[in-house]
Amino acid sequence: MAIIRNFLRVQLPPEQAMPVFRFLQDDTAGIGSIDFCKIEPMPPWVFGGVLTPELEKKYEAKNCWPQWSKIHWGCMRNAINPLDSAAAYDFGNIIQFDTEESDVRILVRKLSLIFKKPPFSYLWADEEIGRSCGMLGYRDGVQDYEVLPEPYSRRAYELSFDILGSRPEEYGLTYDPQSNNYVYVGHVESVKTEREQPEREEMKIWQPSKRSSSDGASAMQNSRSGHPHRSSSTVKTG
């Protein structure tokens, strides 16, 4: 199961971004975390329990938590590891959070409709490097910009490296001039870091603080069980 690292920036001074982050926080974890129900609560009529084929047929898939969440949030479960997100927050204007399998650009647009004045910037990158990444900007529900590279393209790899603050060799990758892309060459220690690297196109993204991007691996691998749509200090599972 792939984990997505997400960064959300409110383009305001930190003290003015604080009300937005207090609104978003998972109340069991504190500021710096995010609870998707704060943006769009799951209605009480949605079946939120352990789902079996019989129950899905009884209530219809659209009225059960997996499909409802996917449609309205963009992913099937609430944000995971909220305590890690709160611990990483440095009281600036950026928060980070993790999701399972998918980004939540749908929710970011909805958030910009709740807080209409500030521009929001949203970045994400998959731990399966190069698979899914992107940058979007919203203000009052209107998209300002969009960068969505083709999966596993050179641009996707390089944007992912920039967002995650990582290097190709950490994933056993190296740049191949013939294909103009990154290729897997084996274990990390086998990568020749002195090999000629490509000229990188400058990515117009903010650089997350060192504290915000640190310990990402441990946060991604920190799996605990809980309810898929309620605020919790644990990973949400069905």
pLDDT, mean of residues 71-77: 94
The count of other CB atoms within 10 Å of the CB of residue 116 is 9
Say yes or no to pLDDT of 37 above 70. Answer: yes
Average pLDDT of every residue of the chain: 84
Higher pLDDT among residues 182 and 196, named by residue: 182
pLDDT bin (cut points 50, 70, 90) of residue 206 is: low
Give the residue from 164, 170, 23 showing the smallest Cα distance to 96: 164
Q: Does the pLDDT value for residue 197 go beyond 80?
A: no
Of 97-101, 199-203, 223-227, least confident by mean pLDDT is 223-227
Contact of 95 with 89, CB cutoff 8 Å: yes
pLDDT for 223 equals 29
Name the amino acid, one letter, at 16.
Q
Give the model's pLDDT for residue 218. Answer: 30
Across the range 36-49, mean pLDDT stands at 94
Chain-centroid distance, C-alpha 117: 23
Candidate from 47-51, 117-121, 122-126, 202-206 with smallest mean pLDDT: 202-206
Please give the backbone phi and psi of residue 81, each rounded to the nearest 5 degrees, phi first. 55, 50
- Give the pLDDT score at 234: 31
Would you mind telling me the total number of residues written for the chain in this entry? 238
For residue 91, what is the DSSP state?
S
101: left (phi over 0), alpha (psi -120 to 50) or beta: left
How does residue 207 score in pLDDT terms, banded at 50, 70 and 90? very low
CB-CB contact of 176 with 169 (8 Å): no
Kindly report the pTM of this predicted structure. 0.79
Question: Which residue type does 172 have?
Answer: G
SS3 at position 10: strand
Over residues 57-80, the mean pLDDT reads: 94
Report the DSSP beta bridge partners of residue 120: 10, 138
Q: What is the pLDDT of residue 226?
A: 32
